[in-house]
Amino acid sequence: MAQVRLENLRKSFGDMVAVDGIDLTVADREFLTLVGPSGCGKSTTLRMVCGLEKASSGQVYFDEVPVGYLPANKRDVAMVFQSYALYPHKTVAQNIGFALRMMRVPKDEIARRVTTTARTLGIEKLLNRRPRELSGGQRQRVALGRAIIRDAGAYLLDEPLSNLDAQLRVEMRAELKRLHADLARTFIYVTHDQVEAMTMSDRIAVLNNGKVEQCAPPEEIYERPATMFVASFMGSPAMNFLPGQLAGERQFRGPAWSQELPVPVAVSGDVVLGVRPEDVRLGDPDGTPGRVFVVEPLGADVLVTVDVGGVHVRARVPAPFRAAHDDAVTVTFRPDRLHLFQAQGGAAVHAPGR
Ligand SMILES: Nc1ncnc2c1ncn2[C@@H]1O[C@H](COP(=O)(O)OP(=O)(O)O)[C@@H](O)[C@H]1O
Ligand SMILES: [Mg+2]
């Protein structure tokens, strides 16, 4: 059992603020992902949870017990790193069983747990091999095995799939999600990859400059991003953003685009209209005229970038879509799918379904 709670957690290195006051409660058995661009403080946060880094201020609680004073080996956690150095001269079995040997667990129990762990990860046939005789994916599984053989309340994973090639990453992503369900333990997962965050997590905490911008289930993060930063970071290709002002409560006006809003919005100053590529329609007779800038087939869908009065709008439309560069095309936004943000600070003032 482990609920993990971070309370106003901060970390500075000199005058460089890496983690800037994080409040977060990870429920027992939850899969929570910390996602954000490189340098936003993900690893530092995770290292404070596991005890490898001392917080400048704030506290970490496991099941409401403060653990800030405890060293890493006294906390009920197991950690998997991006750069997992396996012991090159030990076999897979010895690598997986290493932590238990250090804890002086009896030999036959180690053997039993190594076998069970290897079976969970589908590497029971590799137990006598050495790391150099393994593929990248197999090595990653061994690194996971080293962590999950320990019966920890929480498993902390820092970009464990980053060193794998794209195809293997997709495979391991699904396996990790399944592993989480089978182990029924708390997972805190760190990645800069928004697809990993979307596909695996119960909830996602989006970090920017050492702060949590939004923490919510994946669907909520995608459908109702709380800030422009979250909207731009989550989703590929990214949401379209069009700057402008409100002319009345239901009318957006920008240099390139005017749009009636589905509901009245009261906000003053500069705003930014947001629409995801899949919510852009092409070829509607009442649409705004533009010109095809470039067409990129993705297989099932086609990504079409349209120049509308000097602004590029990206549409994701079902295949086939055939057009040549500079062909005339009209553009419409699904009115029920619009987002509106304050230009200053980027807070969302309207999102679909609100
Ligand atoms: N030991 C350290 N000394 C000085 N600066 C550090 C140290 N560790 C991390 N940082 C800085 O703190 C910030 C956050 O780092 P990190 O948590 O590793 O980010 P992320 O994992 O999100 O890429 C970065 O600007 C990084 O350079
Ligand atoms: Mg990191």
**Structural domain spans, the chain:** 4-226, 237-350
Question: Mean per-residue pLDDT for 4-13?
Answer: 98
pLDDT score of 1? 65
Per CATH, 4-226 and 237-350 having the same topology is answered: no
Question: Mean per-residue pLDDT for 215-239?
Answer: 97
State whether residue 57 is helix, strand or coil: strand
**Index of the ligand 1 atom closest to the CA of residue 207:** 22
With a 6 Å cutoff on the Cβ, whether 43 touches ligand 1 is yes
| DSSP per residue, 263-278 | S-----S-EEEEE-GG
pLDDT band at residue 167 under the 50/70/90 scheme: confident
With a 6 Å cutoff on the Cβ, whether 87 touches ligand 1 is no
Q: How far is CA 129 from the centre of its chain?
A: 34
Mean pLDDT of the chain: 94
Residues in Cβ contact with 188 at an 8 Å cutoff, skipping those fewer than 6 apart: 4, 26, 32, 33, 34, 46, 49, 154, 155, 156, 157
pLDDT > 90? residue 17: yes
Question: Mean per-residue pLDDT for 271-300?
Answer: 96
pLDDT score of 281? 97
23-63 pLDDT, tens digit each: 999 999 999 999 999 999 999 999 999 999 999 999 999 99
pLDDT > 70? residue 118: yes
Note the pTM of the prediction, 2 decimals.
Answer: 0.93
- Determine how β-strand 240-246 pairs with β-strand 211-216: unpaired
Q: Angle of helix 136-148 relative to helix 166-183, nearest 10 degrees?
A: 20
pLDDT score of 113? 94
pLDDT > 60? residue 354: no
Question: Dmax over Cα atoms in the chain, in whole Å?
Answer: 76
Ligand 1, pocket-test mutation among 20, 44, 158, 188, most atoms within 8 A of CB: 44
pLDDT score of 201? 98
With a 6 Å cutoff on the Cβ, whether 14 touches ligand 1 is no
pLDDT score of 121? 85
DSSP letter for 237, please. Answer: S
Ligand 1, pocket-test mutation among 13, 45, 190, most atoms within 8 A of CB: 13
Q: How far is CA 150 from the centre of its chain?
A: 25
CATH number of 4-226: 3.40.50.300
* Atom 14, ligand 1: residue with shortest CA distance: 41
pLDDT score of 197? 97
Residue for token digits 């495979």? 171
Ligand 1, pocket-test mutation among 15, 16, 34, most atoms within 8 A of CB: 16
The class that CATH gives domain 237-350 is mainly beta
- As to burial, measured by CB atoms within 10 angstroms (0-12 exposed, 13-18 middle, 19+ buried), residue 240 is buried
Rg, the chain, Cα only: 24
pLDDT score of 314? 98
